[in-house]
Amino acid sequence: MTQPNSQLAQRFRGYYPVVIDVETAGFNAKTDALLEIAATLLDMDEDGNLIPLKTLHFHVEPFEGANLDASSLAFNGIDPFNPLRGAVHEREAITEICKAVRKAQKDAGCQRSVIVAHNAAFDQGFLNAAIERLNFKRSPFHAFVSFDTTSLAALAVGQTVLAKACKAAGIAFDNKEAHSALYDTERTAELFCYIVNSWKQLGGWPMANIQPDDSAGDDDTDAVA
């Protein structure tokens, strides 16, 4: 990992980007089950290029009283009660992800983490709802700031669908593997890195002119308690 006050800390004004994808049993984050979650941590190499670091992945047990929408389960192909899933309680999944994110955030010299996702409002909504259900006290994630690769891809490669955006960026994408949180997270991470690095190569991020900005730590009141 890079050292504190690194280029990564400077790149997003003290925010540490974490790529997230979820698979769920519906569209309502408050009532529908979170069934799968993956998080890809990022780093920056010596040349200032953003790179994937590692991915955490969990199958998740439906929380007590969760709604399970049949059409959503048919779409993602998940059987929530299949013992072969190796599903864990929400608390274990969220705790392990937040623990890893806090460490990576600290190693990078950042003050707060921010979710990167394709259609970010959806994934952020389900993560925030799980954190609220668990009364989780030490979330590293900003409560509402996110980086949406749907919008970024529309700007960078003229595509909004993840598979098409990856293809336009020269990233291999297997549609048979899609709608797995693990697969989609890793492809989204590749896409995000491609966009950020392409912008740098075009001269859109003049690192020599950027000074460290500690202001990301000034909005702690916006964090999830």
**Catalytic residue annotation:** 179
CA 50 – CA 192 distance, rounded (Å): 9
CA 34 – CA 27 distance, rounded (Å): 10
Enumerate long-range contacts of 190-194, CB under 8 Å, 24 or more apart.
190/52, 190/166, 191/118, 191/149, 191/153, 191/162, 191/165, 191/166, 192/17, 192/19, 192/42, 192/50, 192/116, 192/147, 192/149, 192/152, 193/42, 193/49, 193/50, 193/51, 193/52, 194/156, 194/169, 194/170
